[in-house]
Amino acid sequence: MIVRRLGLLVSVILLFLPPVSVADDIIMTRSTLPFPEAMLALQQSISEHGYTVSRVQRIDIGLTGMGYKTDKYRIVFAGKIDEIRMMTEKSPQLAAYLPPKIAIFAEEGQTVLVTLNPELYAEIAGDAIDPVIFDRWTSDLRSIFDDVNKAN
């Protein structure tokens, strides 16, 4: 009896919890910090989450070098070697998308971050890779973006 009621209660509660966050295809956030500080916060949070920044590509330097005017625009590549290795082994298709990257660009005195939702990699990998790992990537990315959003 009690167990039954408990079950009912739990389902009622589930009804009132905020909906599980949608698998948006693109994850974005804004930092009110200027670009250099936001970049610092991003790289710091990436390492705190246990990932390695493997490269920062300076798109803006390339563009300005060719005579095109643009504000700061960089791409940050990050991952964990064991995971990337496992993934490209089990699902060679994924190599085209890895390591994951984050675009970070200046908007006046503030900064915008954009990345692809890793759930897309899960779709590509299909049964080859346990999707749990992509769920963790997604929640880590959201948490990293949250850190940058809240940094001040």
Partner 1 sequence: MRLIYLTILLLLSVQVIAAPDGRQLYVAHCSACHGDQGHGGVGVPLSLPSFLDSVDDRFLAVTIREGRPGRVMPSFPKLSDAQIAAIVGYIRSWSDKPAPRYSPVPVKGDAKNGGLLYAKHCASCHGENGEGGTGTGVTFSRRRELPIIAPALNNSGFLAAASDELIRQTLQLGRAGTPMGSFLEKGLGKQEIDDVVSFVRSFAQDRDDGTKTVAANKDKIIRLASSYSLQETVENLKDAIISQNFILIRTDLLEHGLVKEPDENPKQVILHFCNFRFLFDALAVDPRVGMFLPCRVTVTETDAGVFVSAINPEYMSHLFNNAELDQYCKEMHDVYVTIIEDATL
* 8 is an interface residue for partner 1 by CB under 8 A: no
User: Footprint of partner 1 on residues 106-135 (CB under 8 A)?
Assistant: 106-108, 110, 112-116, 120, 123-124
Q: Is the peptide bond before 99 cis (omega within 30 degrees of 0)?
A: yes
* 88 is an interface residue for partner 1 by CB under 8 A: yes
d(CA 107, CA 93): 35
| Region from 4-12, 40-48, 130-138 binding partner 1, contact rule CB under 8 A | 4-12
| Region from 36-44, 76-84, 127-135 binding partner 1, contact rule CB under 8 A | 76-84
| Region from 37-45, 66-74, 130-138 binding partner 1, contact rule CB under 8 A | 66-74
φ, ψ for residue 53, nearest 5 deg: -80, 115
Neighbours of 33 (CB within 10 A): 19
Coil, strand or helix at 81: helix
Instruction: State the sign of the Cα–Cα–Cα–Cα dihedral 24, 27, 68, 59.
Output: negative
d(CA 119, CA 26): 10
Binding site for partner 1 (CB under 8 A): 2, 6, 9-10, 12-13, 16-19, 22, 24-26, 28-30, 32, 52-55, 57, 59, 62-63, 66, 68-73, 75, 77, 79-81, 84-85, 88, 92-93, 95-99, 101-103, 105-108, 110, 112-116, 120, 123-124, 149
